[in-house]
Structure 1
């Protein structure tokens, strides 16, 4: 669906069930001297359900970054003559000071959560949103917890503009946006389906076993030489060294949280030789297992 010249109806606000708060200028001025707010703060926030005929154009852009998160329906966004289609469970961040235009579908109007935000951290989060420096529509599964977080911060704002309320709202908004921007990093198993990532998941499930290189390669159905090559490209390490590192990381948990002996821990992690385990631990951690336990349990 493209924008058409004969689209005459433009509704910026006024949808049944809408929520919208615009922070007044005198409130925004207080943010610059507050260490919890100066790096990231919102200026406007809202939710437009079934926003039929919703359209907005800013020929010189906005002073803030603009998040548009769609949970229903669809629409389109134009940024510097580039066209982006937004649909359920997708979002996009419009850069500040950049000409743009967006519009809800006439036949399937969108329901969007939106926010305008500024600050040095805002710029950093926007840069994390980009894909190799390019704007993209990002897709994330619907999460009721994320929606409840938005509703909560909106309720706090609706109640008060006191400084503590503004602080928690901006902290929660940053968390809300990060849950979108960093979704892949928060849920790596969902996205990492390459051979190395699948192998790492297999290692973690079999952390208590002694596994040969042949078994790791056979699990993926590829040759050993190809397996070693793709694994090292992904991790910078050989598969066996990486597997041993995972075991040592797990042993740190055992040393810290349990009273198991070093021998018991080495056996639980598939090491036949307790002394080999201790040497490997010292090499990777810089302390012997017993010294690690003594130091960190203090």
Structure 2
């Protein structure tokens, strides 16, 4: 058997609260080497490179071999152990952060199935090793490590989508992706054709799934979103009507005024004046107390 080794890097402090790497490394374990039972305070993903081992979680046991990945989530009591005859060699990445839970939910793991077999172990191994090879204590090292972590996560996302193609192509997912596109691009001169193209469906199909899932057409949703954003800007009172119109994707002020009045019952100028009056009325009691 090749010599036992362990190469690891542990991050003692992180400036990145969205996604932070706790540790990463590669190890060829001694026969029967065991971790646990215990819990982690972060997410931990292992990829088995060679040999065999077992993973125990929630009363179940998985026999693992090369190409298998297993996920440990925070506060899960688990144990994993190298085989006594063919001990495994694996690499791992431990991470956490505000975005970690959401990202892990898009990976090919679940609470009941924390093990995934990759059909492309070399690519996944390289993605994990890139994280380790970028290690260091300087800000540029941390930035590179997190960047490579995102690429690793992206590779696993693709495997999930390839294995479950219908999960990402449901009508609900089309709508969610379209809404996200609108929220990021409403201030630009976009059309519903642009929205449909961004999610990979025809305009007519986008209309049908919007009516089914949202109860309104895509153009009505886009217009409503723009008008609601315009209301926020008008309430702030820092911009002219023309500036508000352009800021929410209307490049014709008069058309903006017509659409706004149809949606809110008053033109934007009157809406802004009403907001000023309401703000002034809310401030008057404080002024009167101060004067007394």
User: If the length of structure 1 is used for normalisation, what is the TM-score?
Assistant: 0.51
What is the aligned partner in structure 2 of residue 21 from structure 1?
9
What is the aligned partner in structure 1 of residue 42 from structure 2?
64
Secondary structure of 1:78's partner?
strand
Where structure 2 has 5 or more consecutive residues not aligned to the other structure, the ranges are: 172-192, 194-201, 208-292
Is residue 109 from structure 1 mapped to residue 97 from structure 2 by the alignment? no
Shift, 1:19, TM fit: 1.4
What is the aligned partner in structure 2 of residue 177 from structure 1?
153
Is residue 52 from structure 1 mapped to residue 31 from structure 2 by the alignment? yes
- Alpha carbons of 1:285 and 1:90: their partners in 2 closer, same or farther (altered >3 Å)? closer
Is residue 85 from structure 1 mapped to residue 73 from structure 2 by the alignment? no
Is residue 164 from structure 1 mapped to residue 140 from structure 2 by the alignment? yes
Deviations 1:134-187 (A, max 9, x none): 233211123433333333332221xx31112201101212321332354132xx
Shift, 1:282, TM fit: 7.9
Secondary structure of 1:166's partner?
helix
How big is the alpha-carbon RMSD for the aligned residues of Structure 1 and Structure 2?
3.3
User: If the length of structure 2 is used for normalisation, what is the TM-score?
Assistant: 0.52
Is residue 139 from structure 1 mapped to residue 127 from structure 2 by the alignment? no
Secondary structure of 1:173's partner?
helix
Contact 1:73–1:87, Cα closer than 8 Å, also in 2: yes
Q: Tell me the distance in 2 between the aligned counterparts of 1:156 and 1:111.
A: 21
- Alpha carbons of 1:85 and 1:161: their partners in 2 closer, same or farther (altered >3 Å)? same
Secondary structure of 1:19's partner?
strand
Residue pairs, 1:118-129, within 5 angstroms:
118-129=96-107
- Alpha carbons of 1:48 and 1:283: their partners in 2 closer, same or farther (altered >3 Å)? closer
Secondary structure of 1:129's partner?
coil
Shift, 1:130, TM fit: 6.0
What is the aligned partner in structure 2 of residue 94 from structure 1?
72
Q: Tell me the distance in 2 between the aligned counterparts of 1:156 and 1:122.
A: 20
Contact 2:32–2:87, Cα closer than 8 Å, also in 1: yes
Contact 1:55–1:102, Cα closer than 8 Å, also in 2: yes
Count of matched residue pairs: 177
Contact 1:73–1:88, Cα closer than 8 Å, also in 2: yes
Shift, 1:94, TM fit: 0.8
Q: Tell me the distance in 1 between the aligned counterparts of 2:122 and 2:204.
A: 45
- Alpha carbons of 1:282 and 1:17: their partners in 2 closer, same or farther (altered >3 Å)? closer
